[in-house]
Structure 1
């Protein structure tokens, strides 16, 4: 399989994950988010959850839409930004001792963002 194809698959996968979690944070109250299994949300005000939701939705759009309008450089920049957002999430999960599966899942997202950014900045740039 061509590297460009699997990078598009990876970008689509990341977009779906971040779009889903972002919409959840934008459309639910903090209590509903906690009930959905995101216990860490109880430590933050709803305004912070909304901000995180918007960051995730914009990130989801940023890893798939820009190449179609000639702004391919936005993809790796967005992947780095999402990766940094996930580093912050990792810190939260480790502090709360939410190691399995939360911190492990977050590490996987960081790795996927790093792979996408690395390839799109490098050998598979648009």
Structure 2
């Protein structure tokens, strides 16, 4: 089970680092033009902050475990990502972007699984 948790953690880390980097590196208009219409509901600085939160949470998923320092941060970061995905799902649902809601739900479930397992029986 621990190996499965590591694989999920690695996939979530890669996903959120990529998503966060995209939000930080690209201007709001380019994100909107590439199908990220939700950015129209937020200021450019808020979009950048969301990207930074995604990157920091992704690093919080993996670095404490790899470095064996403050490992309690792993489930805390996973919980933060779950909360972020709840907010994202609500935003996409309000805009009628159902495929994005499904992605948010799946990512949220994976983050919740990491949080539950790392807070509980498979803590680091």
TM interval, short-chain normalised: over 0.9
1:43 match: 41
Deviation at 1:69, TM superposition (A): 2.6
Q: Does 1:82 align with 2:81?
A: yes
TM-score (norm 1): 0.95
| CA RMSD, 1 decimal | 0.8
Q: What pairs with 1:44-123 in structure 2 (closer than 5 Å)?
A: 44-70=42-68, 71-99=70-98, 101-123=99-121
Unaligned runs of 5+ residues in structure 2 are none
Deviation at 1:35, TM superposition (A): 1.6
CA distance in 2, matches of 1:53, 1:20: 9
CA distance in 1, matches of 2:123, 2:116: 9
CA distance in 2, matches of 1:54, 1:40: 17
Q: What pairs with 1:14-29 in structure 2 (closer than 5 Å)?
A: 14-29=12-27
CA distance in 2, matches of 1:112, 1:35: 29
TM-score (norm 2): 0.96
CA distance in 2, matches of 1:38, 1:15: 20
CA distance in 2, matches of 1:56, 1:123: 26
Aligned length: 123
Task: Detail structure 1 runs of 4+ shifted over 6 Å in the superposition.
Answer: none
Deviation at 1:67, TM superposition (A): 1.4
CA distance in 1, matches of 2:95, 2:18: 23
CA offsets 1:59-78 (integer angstroms, 9 cap, x no match) = 11010110133221110000
